[in-house]
Amino acid sequence: MRILVAGGGGFIGGHLVKSLLDDGHDVRSVDQKPLTDWYQVHEAAENVIADLQSLEACRESVNGIEWVYNLAADMGGMGFIENNKALCMLSVLINTHLLQASNDAAVTRFFFASSACVYAADKQTDPNVTALAEEDAYPAMPEDGYGWEKLFSERMCRHFSEDFGLETRVARYHNVYGPNGTWRGGREKAPAAISRKIAEAKSSGDHEIEVWGDGLQTRSFMYIDDCVEGTKALMHSVTTEPLNIGSAELISINDLTDMVAKIAGIEITRNHDLTAPQGVRGRNSDNTLILEKLGWEPTIGLQEGMKATYRWIAEERQKLGLPSD
């Protein structure tokens, strides 16, 4: 098929483009960043630089396209989304204009990458959280800024399906991590940030690690390969309701830090910054519905995924000429 990946220069988008190319599809990858800033550039794809907040850019991007995967958004880790709520909200323009353009161009199927940040905050106040099921998004109380944009965009997909017949699929991603992603600069998520800090500690000999919050907050983290496989499975399914795509393996930030330190072969001391952004106290994925609908859930364990992630970040540091082990 002729497929558009919006946000193809991003972390998840770059991996998805590669997988779709490997499957034999004709892929147009669109991102607003210069090619030098793309996480991955695949020569076999049609790589286009365009700002998809513009309706005209969306119309040009969907021309001749059968399926659309929309992963384009202005986002990052907790430090970014808590301090850039307006920028996160402006991503609503991307999904709105892509839906309009896709419907007008007779695109046959449209995927939207939503987030676990749509879930009600009052269900995430305890580190020993009950895993979040899809029904827990309502009554609506999502994360301010980023979460509201995602929930609104989910509704846009639903109503474009109801009113215009555009087939849509929605995935609620839970903390995707892995190689070829952001690992420094302020937009990185916890697995990458912790891996970077421990790689720095190992090379410097100073094994004191800064941890945001008390470290008791819990999360589940999904490896990028599982994310791509789940995304494609959902897109090919008949399921029209939003689905969690996330691991059900819950871990505290303290334990994640200790896991990476063990992978690196060092012992660390945690220095807790209680003033830093830390998000909700607990978040985990209930995979009951995805197992029922797709017969699938993520299978790559956190230990395996973090080994690959830490190794990749250590190699990236070496490429940049930064001190290594």
Residues designated catalytic: 146
Three-state SS sequence of the chain: CEEEEECCCCHHHHHHHHHHHHCCCEEEEEECCCHHHCCCCCCCCEEEECCCCCHHHHHHHHCCCCEEEECCCCCCCHHHHCCCHHHHHCCHHHHHHHHHHHHHCCCCEEEEEEEHHHCCHHHCCCCCCCCECHHHHCCCCCCCCHHHHHHHHHHHHHHHHHHHCCEEEEEEECCEECCCCCCCCCCCCHHHHHHHHHHHHHHHCCCEEEEECCCCCEEECEEHHHHHHHHHHHHHCCCCCCEEECCCCEEEHHHHHHHHHHHHCCCCEEEEECCCCCCCCECCECCHHHHHHHCCCCCCCHHHHHHHHHHHHHHHHHHCCCCCC
